[in-house]
Amino acid sequence: MRATVGPDGNGTALRHLPIVYHPEYVTRLPDGHRFPMPKFRRVYELLCSEGIATERNVYRPEAAGRELLSLVHSERYLREFLDGSLPASALRRIGLPWSEALTRRTRRAVGGTLLTARLALRHGLACNVAGGTHHAHPEFGSGFCIFNDLAVAARALLAEGRVRRVLIVDLDVHQGDGTAAAFLDEPAVFTFSMHCESNFPFRKVDGDLDIGLANGLGDEAYIERLQQILPGLLETQRPELVLYDAGADVHQADRLGRLMLTNRGLFERDRYVIELCRTAGVPVAAVIGGGYDQDLDALADRHCMLHRAACEVVRRAAGLDERSTHSQAPHKTRVGDSSTIVEQRGQSAHNGGHDSLSFCSRRRDRSR
């Protein structure tokens, strides 16, 4: 394995976690809709209030264009969704009402994950404030997921020759069925999903490695299971990039979960994944994944465990003071008005063609 990823692009220690956010990550849904769309703004506000997101480390993505999306999704599906002609049954499967604003939001979020991956390749680590739409299949959307940001980012970077092998680590409580479907015949991408076996989707798609967990699994057993798997994957697959879906819906209070992780468990899980990959010399691009709760402040706090854990790894790698405020243990902060949030620097993501490079073995595991 390569040496530890510590330096950023100009040869100095990475001291500020690159964070990707755009106001278009949030669009209006009907009152009472069960998808917590406002959470993305709340997460960003909380990161700003803690000093994790500042004007020097926040990047605004471009919206993904049709050419970029077509690396994964069929022309018919793209046309019907983008022009608003998708059949009612297909919209019900997605679970979100169509609007022009939703198309903009969806394209922006995909662009955000691609930019996060580009920043990770440059700096060793970067985090999105959205992303993880892993139920989106090439031909259709599902489970609040329209376009698959993880799959698009992987395809784009492979096509550009930026990487030759990608490992997708999906720790959302739900299996990444759309991502698995997108890479059924792609040896350059290895998909690993560890999820609650009894949860959605009820008809799963075999990925390269699927670990189905029993209901009610808590912090210790969950992290122990992860520790049994991830080091070996990094060693055998030798990825040049890890796309990490840090779903917070494994939390014990999640409305759509079924596992029993605590805030501490989320933090330790995310820190373990990021630190292990960085020690192995593998860049990590992380997205927040799923999370569902009527208490948006509590939900935002759970999602921020990812960014807090990432900041702690950055701080340790840079040899900074252990008492840094970015490294505090899981806690809860009430967020304020978005008008106080700083502006972000602009950074672009762009499209690429097709490529398929290296070989990965295929494995299946349904163990609990």
User: How far apart are the C-alpha atoms of 217 and 261, rounded to whole Å?
Assistant: 7
Q: Which range scores top for mean pLDDT: 2-11, 16-25, 315-324, 350-359?
A: 16-25
15 pLDDT band, cuts 50/70/90, is confident
Nearest to 222 by CA among 244, 202, 243, 250: 250
Whether the predicted pLDDT of 337 surpasses 90: no
Q: Give the domain ranges of the chain.
A: 19-346
Q: Rounded to whole angstroms, what are the CA distances from 359 to 71, 265, 354?
A: 19, 34, 16
The reported pLDDT for the residue numbered 230 is 98
> How confident is the model over 203-212, as pLDDT tens digits?
999 999 999 9
The reported pLDDT for the residue numbered 144 is 97
For residue 352 the two structure tokens come to: 């690429």
The reported pLDDT for the residue numbered 342 is 29
DSSP 202-250: SS----SEEEEEPTT-BHHHHHHHHHHHHHHHHHHH--SEEEEE--GGG
Pick the CATH number of 19-346 from 3.30.470.10, 3.40.800.20, 3.40.50.620, 3.50.50.60: 3.40.800.20
12 pLDDT band, cuts 50/70/90, is very low
Whether the predicted pLDDT of 192 surpasses 80: yes
250 pLDDT band, cuts 50/70/90, is very high
Output the pTM of the full model. Answer: 0.85
